[in-house]
């Protein structure tokens, strides 16, 4: 006989959901190597070791936890060792990939430079950085070939003119994007400069915010052109007029790209200028305390917003951090596409500003020094960097505009560039970046030259963003033609190439580019591909139809 029992069968106990590392919910233990490093020592403290130990002992004296972690809080990354091809990016250990030189990022909040600062930036480039000085799409200047031995002198020079590298990288509040025409544009809704400067003064370098789950990107602009790409920042304050309270800012949270792109979401709040620093502090504090720290891939604020929704986020912000309600407000009207301010434009005081386009943000210390001479000779003392890798000269008298434009053109800074040059951006790429798989800057420059020759008559702005890896530092998903670097097969051989994204956009109709199934293009075949798809658009477009709109309705064969 078979034994039986009447004992009830117990249901399996549900597994407890693994915590996401949110401090506010009690998960304060380090959950990965990055969190352990930040717990072991506040990364801001590494500057003292750089000045007192590493600058004297050289590269080999640097503790590896500092080298590959905490150095970032002072704008320093090791750069890629020359000669390592993209196929080895994901297979080599860090010590095999990295050179003994550094990339150094100079923090330029709001893109604001005066002549003394510009000359200092230029001088550091020529003296310490082998004449490198790239303009980033976050308004920074980025050097290469920097030695740790030179960092004390570099910091002394930068800080003597009011610049810094503090928190230019790392899990902390990065540079604050600001409108490069703040305070001078005739069509500006409100000048956000005070808020940019006040946040920088109060909170950058504050240990209270130097250990965030990941980086935190801020944009503040009262210009209607959305010139700081607010839709893809962690937090953005965008100029808008409240029907009862007047000019102020619409509040967006949770934008970001990389491998999981998301657009920022409105909280439905209107923020007056004088409250921006307080509200910013509250939002960063929510991120610090509730942000996900267990997995680095989910540690940006966009994932918290996606899970909570804007309503819950606003509720937590108001009730737990601000201890008050925010004012409800209207949505800021969006332009067709974000503005870049290239060309000659009149200021509200009757003077002019002139925007120029270097090739894919690549300049040199020599060019910046020449720029300083040109600017000074034409009576200006204000220069601005932009979120599109461009430069602006402000406060030019009407009778000096033509002379200035000609002088800028002579040093390779065009105020009337071709549509190709104006609308192409590129990240650092394999030349210096340890994460990159392909060349970007040089490839993008060659593409510009080729397309200017092949389709010089292009009458519609078509943005081309070139990135060396999937991380989207050059915003590939929001470009008309986004190119993500990877290795592709060409007659059985692995060669440099790109995954193509088509039809991305920011502004009035934001969206991420259409990724064609399994479609790749070799780097060598890139000009032919771009020519073909652009000619297809020019031939088939309807009246007033943008490239992104055409891509959305085009058959896939027409896009290959």
Helix spans in 58-114 (H): 64-67, 94-97
SS3 197: helix
Tokens for 313? 């986020």
What are the domain boundaries of the chain?
25-321, 422-559
Give me the pLDDT at residue 556, please: 86
pLDDT (tens digit per residue) in 395-444 = 999 999 999 999 999 999 999 999 999 999 999 999 999 999 999 999 99
If phi over 0 gives left and psi between -120 and 50 gives alpha, with beta otherwise, what is residue 238?
beta
pLDDT (tens digit per residue) in 468-505 = 999 999 999 999 999 999 999 998 999 999 999 999 99
Distance (Å, whole) CA 421 – CA 409: 14
Give me the pLDDT at residue 16, please: 52
Does residue 5 carry a pLDDT above 50? no
Beta carbons within 10 angstroms of residue 284's beta carbon:
25
CA 18 to each of CA 13, 211, 292, 295, 300: distance values in angstroms, whole numbers, following the listed order: 15, 22, 12, 11, 18
Confidence of residue 14 (pLDDT cuts 50, 70, 90): low
Give me the pLDDT at residue 30, please: 82
Give me the pLDDT at residue 519, please: 79
CATH number for the domain whose boundaries are 422-559: 3.30.413.10
Question: Which of 143, 191, 28 has the alpha carbon at shortest distance from 432?
Answer: 143
Distance (Å, whole) CA 371 – CA 121: 12
pLDDT (tens digit per residue) in 237-252 = 999 999 999 999 999 9
Confidence of residue 2 (pLDDT cuts 50, 70, 90): very low
Give me the pLDDT at residue 105, please: 98
Does residue 74 carry a pLDDT above 80? yes
Q: Per-residue pLDDT averaged across 283-307, rounded?
A: 97
Tokens for 32? 């990965």
Spatial contact of 27 and 21, defined as CB atoms under 8 Å apart: yes
* CB hemisphere CA count around 324 (13 angstroms): 7
Give me the pLDDT at residue 560, please: 82
Does residue 3 carry a pLDDT above 60? no
Give me the pLDDT at residue 1, please: 41
> What are 413-418's contacts with CB under 8 Å, separation 24+?
413/356, 413/357, 413/358, 413/363, 413/367, 413/371, 414/356, 414/357, 415/342, 415/343, 415/344, 415/354, 415/355, 415/356, 415/357, 416/343, 417/342, 417/356, 417/357, 418/448, 418/452, 418/456, 418/458
Give me the pLDDT at residue 558, please: 85
Asked, colleague to colleague, whether 25-321 and 422-559 share their fold, the answer is yes
Does residue 456 carry a pLDDT above 90? yes
Average model confidence (pLDDT) across the chain: 95
Distance (Å, whole) CA 270 – CA 245: 9
Q: Per-residue pLDDT averaged across 375-394, rounded?
A: 98
Q: What percent of the chain has pLDDT over 90?
A: 93
Q: Per-residue pLDDT averaged across 27-40, rounded?
A: 92
pLDDT (tens digit per residue) in 141-189 = 999 999 999 999 999 999 999 999 999 999 999 999 999 999 999 999 9
Q: Per-residue pLDDT averaged across 309-314, rounded?
A: 98
Does residue 71 carry a pLDDT above 80? yes
Give me the pLDDT at residue 94, please: 92
Give residue for tokens 């397309």: 451
Task: Select 25-321's CATH number: 2.40.128.110, 3.30.413.10, 3.40.50.10490, 3.30.70.980.
Answer: 3.30.413.10
CA 436 to each of CA 101, 140, 427: distance values in angstroms, whole numbers, following the listed order: 17, 20, 9
Does residue 15 carry a pLDDT above 70? no
Spatial contact of 481 and 533, defined as CB atoms under 8 Å apart: yes
Confidence of residue 13 (pLDDT cuts 50, 70, 90): low
Distance (Å, whole) CA 520 – CA 282: 44
Distance of alpha carbon 261 from the chain centroid: 13
Spatial contact of 383 and 393, defined as CB atoms under 8 Å apart: yes
pLDDT (tens digit per residue) in 210-263 = 999 999 999 999 999 999 999 999 999 999 999 999 999 999 999 999 999 999
Spatial contact of 125 and 365, defined as CB atoms under 8 Å apart: yes
Give me the pLDDT at residue 9, please: 53
């Amino acid at each position: 006989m078979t034994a039986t029992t009447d004992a009830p069968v117990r249901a399996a106990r549900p597994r407890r959901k693994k915590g996401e590392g949110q401090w506010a919910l009690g998960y304060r233990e380090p959950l990965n190597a990055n969190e352990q490093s930040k717990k072991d020592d506040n990364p801001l403290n590494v500057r003292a070791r750089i000045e007192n130990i590493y600058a004297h002992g050289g590269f080999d004296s640097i503790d590896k936890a500092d080298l590959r972690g905490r150095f970032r809080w002072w704008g320093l990354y090791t750069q890629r060792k020359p000669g390592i091809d993209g196929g080895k990016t994901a297979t080599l250990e860090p010590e095999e990939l990295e050179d003994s030189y550094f990339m150094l990022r100079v923090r330029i909040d709001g893109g604001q430079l005066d002549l003394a600062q510009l000359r200092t930036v230029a001088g550091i480039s020529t003296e310490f950085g082998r004449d490198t000085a790239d303009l980033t799409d976050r308004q920074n200047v980025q050097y290469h070939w920097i030695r740790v031995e030179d960092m004390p002198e570099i910091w002394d020079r930068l800080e003597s003119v009011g610049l810094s590298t503090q928190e230019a990288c790392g899990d902390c509040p990065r540079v604050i994007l600001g409108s490069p025409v703040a305070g001078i544009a005739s069509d500006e809704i409100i000048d956000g400069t005070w808020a940019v400067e006040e946040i920088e003064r109060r909170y950058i370098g504050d240990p209270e915010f130097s250990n965030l789950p990941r980086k935190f990107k801020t944009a503040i602009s009262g210009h209607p052109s959305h010139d700081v790409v607010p839709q893809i920042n962690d937090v953005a304050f965008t100029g808008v007029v409240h029907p009862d309270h007047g000019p102020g800012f619409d509040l967006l949270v949770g934008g970001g790209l990389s491998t999981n792109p998301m657009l920022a979401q409105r909280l439905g709040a209107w923020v007056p200028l004088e409250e921006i620093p307080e509200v910013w502090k509250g939002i960063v504090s929510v991120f610090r305390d509730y942000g996900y720290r267990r997995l680095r891939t989910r540690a940006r604020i966009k994932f918290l917003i996606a899970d909570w929704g804007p309503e819950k986020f606003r509720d937590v912000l108001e009730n737990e951090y601000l201890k008050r309600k925010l004012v409800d407000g209207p949505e800021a009207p969006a332009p067709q596409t974000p503005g870049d301010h290239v060309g000659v434009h009149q200021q509200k005081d009757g003077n002019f500003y002139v925007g120029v386009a270097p090739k894919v943000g690549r300049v040199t210390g020599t060019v910046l020094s020449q720029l300083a001479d040109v600017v000074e000779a034409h009576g200006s003392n204000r220069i601005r960097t932009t979120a599109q890798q461009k430069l602006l000269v402000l406060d030019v008298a009407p009778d000096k505009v033509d002379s200035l434009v000609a002088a800028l053109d002579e040093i390779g800074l065009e105020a009337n560039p071709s549509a190709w040059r104006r609308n192409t951006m590129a990240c650092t790429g394999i030349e210096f970046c340890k994460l990159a798989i392909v060349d970007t800057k040089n490839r993008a420059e060659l593409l510009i030259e080729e397309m200017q020759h092949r389709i010089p008559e292009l009458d519609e702005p078509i943005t081309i963003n070139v990135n060396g890896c999937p991380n989207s530092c050059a915003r590939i998903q929001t470009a008309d033609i986004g190119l993500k670097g990877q290795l592709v097969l060409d007659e059985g051989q692995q060669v440099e190439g790109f995954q193509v994204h088509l039809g991305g956009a920011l502004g009035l109709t934001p969206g991420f580019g259409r990724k064609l199934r399994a479609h790749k293009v070799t780097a060598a075949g890139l000009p032919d591909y771009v020519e073909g798809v652009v000619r297809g658009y020019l031939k088939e477009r309807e009246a007033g139809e943008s490239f992104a709109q055409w891509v959305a309705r085009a058959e896939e064969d027409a896009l290959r």
